Structure 1
Amino acid sequence: MSLPPLAALRAFEAAARHQSFKKAAAEIAVTPTAISHQVRLLEETLGVRLFDRKPRQVVLTQAGQELYPVLRDGFVSFANAIDRVRRRKTSRGLTVSVLPSFAAKWLLRRLPDFQKRHPDIHLHLHTSAEVVDLASGTVDAAIRYGRGPHHGLVVQTMFRETFAPICSPALGIQGFDDLSRATLLHLDWLNPDDVTPTWERWAEVNGVEGLGTSGGISFSDDTHAIQAAIAGQGVVLASPAMAREEINTGLLTMPFDLYLEGHNYHFVHTGRGNNRGEVEMFGDWLLAEVKKSQLHLENSLIDD
C-alpha cells in the first residue's frame, strides 16, 4: 500500500479534531511547529490543501473534511485492536478443581458475577471427584469437601454441609408413615466415613423409628439423584444448598425439618505461585457468595 507517513496522518487527525495545531501538539507531545510541518508534508504528498489557516484557528477544507472522518475511524480501530491484544497478553489464568456436583448445583449459576467483577481473569474449572495434588501445579486451587487432611495448604472454610429428605411435592409426603411407604434414593459415596449421610444415620440422629432403609435406588452422582427426585421416583437424602433452586421454584420440597450434618466445604490453595493474587480474589469472592446465600436462606425462612 502506498500511504503517506503515519506521523503526518496522525498530526492531521489530531489537528482536525481539535481545530488547532497547538492543542494537537499538546496531545501528541510535540511542538506546534512540528504539527504544522507534518500537515504541510501531508498536503504536499496529496497535492491538496487540507486546512485554511487563520490567525487563531485552522479550518478544514473540503478535501480535509473528506479525509478526516476516515482517519478518525481508522485510528479508533487501531486503538481498539491494540487494546484487545494488550488485554489478551495480560489476561491471567486461574484453574480451580471442584466436585462436579458442587459445580453444577452451586457454583456455575454464580460464576457470571465473578466474571463481571474480574473480566481479566480467565477461569478454568477442573471438575473431578478425585483429589488433585495442588503442589504439582496442575491446578491453582480447589474446593474440597471433607475433614482433610490439608497439610501445607492455606484453608478457608466455606460452610458446613447439611442433608435432609427432599422429594417432589407430587409424592404427598407429609409424615413418617408416608416416608416409610416411599422409595428411598441412596447415594454411593466415594470415600464413606462416620459422617457420610445415610438414611440409617438420619433416622438414628433424628429419632425416626421403623424406617426401612435397605431398599430403593442408588446413585453415584447426587445431581442424578436430585433429578430422579424431581421426576417423582422417590425421596433423596440430599443437600438443601445444592437443591436450593429446585426448592425455591417448587420442583422439590422438604417435608421434614430434620437435618443431618456433614463435613465442611473448604477453599484450599498453596499460598504460592505467580497468580496468588488471582487465587485470593477468587477465594474472597467465594466467601462473599457464601455469606450472600446464607443471608438469602435466612430471609426465606423468616418469610416462610
Structure 2
Amino acid sequence: MVRPYIPLNALRSFEAAARHLSFTNAASELHVTHAAVSQQVKSLEQQLGCQLFVRVSRGLMLTPEGESLLPVLNDSFDRIADTLDRFWAGQVREKLKVGVVGSFAIGLLLPRIDDFNHHHPHIELQLSTHNNRVDPAAEGHDYTIRFGNGAWHGTEAQFICDAPLSPLCIPAIARQLQHPADVHKFTLLRSFRRDEWSHWLQSINEHPPSPAQPVMIFDSSLTMIEAALMGTGIALAPCKIFNHLLQTEKLIRPFAAEINLGGYWLTRLQTRAESPAMKAFSSWLLSFTPQSVDCNI
C-alpha cells in the first residue's frame, strides 16, 4: 500500500494548534485563517485515519494519537529551524541542548564548561537547569542530566558519578554535634525523598527522626544548602557537589558516615538519535567527571 503524501502545511497547522490547544491562536501564529487551520487538521486526520483532537468546553484536547505525534513534530521543526539558522548566519555550528539538574550544574559542570567550549568551538551549548523533575521531550533536550537510579521510561542512561549524602552544616552547629544522635536537636533539611534521614541514621544504628522532629523539605539541593548556610538546620546533601563550600569551611561535614541513594546520569530519549555534537559532549563529560572527591571531615 502506497503511503499518502502529507503536506508540510498540514503538519505545521497541527503542531501549532496542538501547542496552543486552539485553532484561533494557531491561525494567528501562522498568519492564516481559523478555517484554514481547521481544514488542514481535518485533512491530516483523514490521511492518518485517526482523530488528533477532541473538542471540550474550554477548547481542544489532544487524543493519545495527537500526544504521540506532537513531540516528534516539535523536535523535527526545531532541528529544521536550527539548521536554517546556521545557513542564514553563515556559520558551521551545531546546537546542543542540555538540561541539567541544578546541583550538578553548580558543583561539577559550570566550573569546567570553558574547557568544553575551548575544545569544541563549533558546538553552541545551550544549558537549562531543572530540579530533577523534567520533561525532556517537551523541552527539546538532546541530553538531560538527572539524579536517580538510571531507570527512566523510554530513556538511555549513562552513569556519570555517584553522589553519596552526608550531613552538612555551618561551623557553629558542627561544634554542637559530638555524636550523630545530636542531629535530633536541630532542624533536618532534606529533599522530597522522605526517608533520606532515616536511611542515614539507621546506617549508623541510630533511631530515625521522630514525627515531632523539625524538618524542612526542598525541591532543590541548591536552596537546601542556602538554608544550611543561613544556619537554619543540617542538610543531608552530596558533599561531592558542595566540596567548594567544605574547602572554604563555610560548611562542615561533622560525620564521615554517608549513604548512597543514587547518582548522576547522562540521559537521552531513545527516540533521539545521537548527533556528532551529542557524542562529543558525552565523551568530554564522562572523561572528566570524578568518581570520588576529597571530602574529608
Q: Equivalent residue for 1:126? A: 128
Q: Equivalent residue for 2:106? A: 104
Instruction: Quote the sequence identity (%).
Output: 26
CA contact (8 A) 2:150 2:159 kept: no
Q: Equivalent residue for 2:250? A: 251
* In 2, Cα distance between equivalents of 1:143 and 1:106: 12
Q: Equivalent residue for 1:205? A: 203
Q: Equivalent residue for 2:237? A: 238
CA contact (8 A) 1:164 1:257 kept: yes
Distance 1:222 1:88, change over 3 A: farther
* In 1, Cα distance between equivalents of 2:90 and 2:206: 58
Q: Which amino acid aligns with 1:138?
A: G
Query: What is the CA-CA distance between 1:137 and the residue it aligns to?
Result: 8.2
Q: Equivalent residue for 1:184? A: 188
Query: What is the CA-CA distance between 1:273 and the residue it aligns to?
Result: 6.3
CA contact (8 A) 1:100 1:128 kept: yes
Distance 1:261 1:125, change over 3 A: same
Query: What is the CA-CA distance between 1:153 and the residue it aligns to?
Result: 4.1
Distance 1:164 1:154, change over 3 A: same
CA contact (8 A) 2:166 2:259 kept: yes
Q: Equivalent residue for 1:92? A: 94
Q: Considering only CA atoms, is the larger Rg found in Structure 1 or Structure 2?
A: 1
Distance 1:231 1:152, change over 3 A: closer
Answering whether residue 220 of structure 2 is matched by residue 221 of structure 1, we say: yes
Query: What is the CA-CA distance between 1:205 and the residue it aligns to?
Result: 2.3
* In 1, Cα distance between equivalents of 2:91 and 2:271: 22
* In 2, Cα distance between equivalents of 1:209 and 1:198: 13
Q: After the TM superposition, which segments of 4 or more aligned residues of structure 1 sit over 6 Å from their partners? A: 271-275
- Residue deviations 1:130-186 (CA, integer Å, cap 9, x gap): 33244x781211112223434554421111221111111122123235323222223
Q: Equivalent residue for 2:25? A: none
TM-score, normalised to structure 2's length? 0.61
Q: Which amino acid aligns with 1:183?
A: T
Q: Equivalent residue for 1:162? A: 164
Distance 1:88 1:165, change over 3 A: farther
Distance 1:152 1:219, change over 3 A: closer
Q: Which amino acid aligns with 1:146?
A: G
Distance 1:209 1:275, change over 3 A: closer
Q: Which amino acid aligns with 1:179?
A: V
Q: Which amino acid aligns with 1:149?
A: A
Q: Equivalent residue for 2:5? A: none
Matches within 5 A, 1:1-304: 89-129=91-131, 130-134=133-137, 138-150=140-152, 153-171=155-173, 172=175, 173-187=177-191, 189=192, 192=193, 198-209=196-207, 212=210, 214-270=213-269, 276-291=275-290, 294=292, 297-298=293-294, 301=296
How much is the aligned-residue C-alpha RMSD, in angstroms? 3.0
CA contact (8 A) 1:197 1:262 kept: no
Query: What is the CA-CA distance between 1:275 and the residue it aligns to?
Result: 6.5
Unaligned runs of 5+ in 1: 1-84
Distance 1:140 1:170, change over 3 A: same
* In 2, Cα distance between equivalents of 1:223 and 1:233: 14
CA contact (8 A) 1:155 1:268 kept: yes
- Residue deviations 1:164-218 (CA, integer Å, cap 9, x gap): 111111221232353232222232x2xx4xxx65212211222123754631333
Distance 1:86 1:274, change over 3 A: farther
* In 2, Cα distance between equivalents of 1:133 and 1:127: 12
CA contact (8 A) 1:197 1:260 kept: no
Unaligned runs of 5+ in 2: 1-86
- The number of residue pairs the alignment matches comes to 208
Query: What is the CA-CA distance between 1:237 and the residue it aligns to?
Result: 0.8
Distance 1:272 1:281, change over 3 A: farther
- Residue deviations 1:203-262 (CA, integer Å, cap 9, x gap): 122212375463133323211111121222211111112211101111111111111111
* In 1, Cα distance between equivalents of 2:102 and 2:90: 29
SS in 2 for 1:109: helix
CA contact (8 A) 2:136 2:269 kept: no
SS in 1 for 2:134: coil
